[in-house]
Amino acid sequence: MIFITADIIINPAGKLIIMKKLIIQIPAYNEEKTIHAVLSELPRKVEGFDRVEWLLVDDGSADNTSAKAISMGIDHLVRHTANLGLARAFASGIDACLNIYSSLSNYNRKFER
């Protein structure tokens, strides 16, 4: 699943800059042995976007899926404490993307998560 957002930044000169960001969501369940192959196929640059980020949703894996993905440089991680299924993993990823977007675009210029 792909989610498109925009970072709204005000530079020191007061100019508004809009950076288009693509977030690629990867749901995973016990994928420690295969996550390397999956992530190594994903782009870090896509024409038309200023940034490409990866979001892994670990759907309650009992192995080291999350640790392996972190070692490969994922940008965002959502972990379920139990296996909730693919639909819930996608929904959690969408929620995370919306939180990433809203936390970066608040109006008081505090860019906290």
Closest C-alpha among 84, 76, 80, 81 to residue 100: 76
Tens-digit pLDDT profile for residues 67-89: 999 999 999 999 999 999 999 99
How much is the pTM? 0.78
Q: Which amino acid is at 49?
A: F
For residue 53, the 8-state DSSP code is E
Confidence at residue 59, expressed as pLDDT on a 0 to 100 scale = 96
- CA 101 to CA 6: how far, in whole Å? 7
Averaged pLDDT for residues 37-53? 92
Domains with residue ranges and CATH for the chain: 2-104 (3.40.1380)
